[in-house]
Amino acid sequence: MPSRRSALLRRPDEADVVDAFVAGAFAAVVSGVPSTAHALLTGRNPFDASLAAGTLLLPGERRWQRLLPAAIAAHAVLSLGWACALAMLLPRRRSVEAAALAGLAIAALDLGLVGRHFPRIRALPLLPQVLDHVAYSVAVDAVLQARRGRRRER
């Protein structure tokens, strides 16, 4: 059995890449549930987080018609990129705890390091955004585990 270090250094094959993209796409869609639910329960605009993400590509823009497409593009790129990283770094089994911790680390980078430079991101309630990141990483892990499990069964 390869060591954890050699598993990290091995070159991903086509199935690994496809798994990461499928996991990232799924997680990108479902990971906004915590912040959307929070927004709806507190009377906030459920699109605030999306519009804030749009400022990553269009920092000075205020019009939602331009921010929303920019948000979709930024979120897609970030989601697929983080999914590729998680696919390489998360343990192959019993990984939900590692995925949750990875979500916290990604939140620290996305919200703390990068997001603090963007007023609309900084203005978002922090806890729902952190929960979105944890949900994202756990969803990526769940899809990766399911896809890898099906491949092992074949």
The band of 1, judged by pLDDT with boundaries at 50, 70 and 90, is very low
The predicted pLDDT at position 24 comes to 97
pTM: 0.89
* Average pLDDT score over residue span 140-153: 92
* Average pLDDT score over residue span 39-57: 97
For 1-154, strand residue ranges (E) read: none
More confident: 51 or 92: 51
Using the CB atoms, write b or e for 114-143: b if 16+ within 10 Å: ebeebebbeebeeebbbbbbbbbbbbbbbb
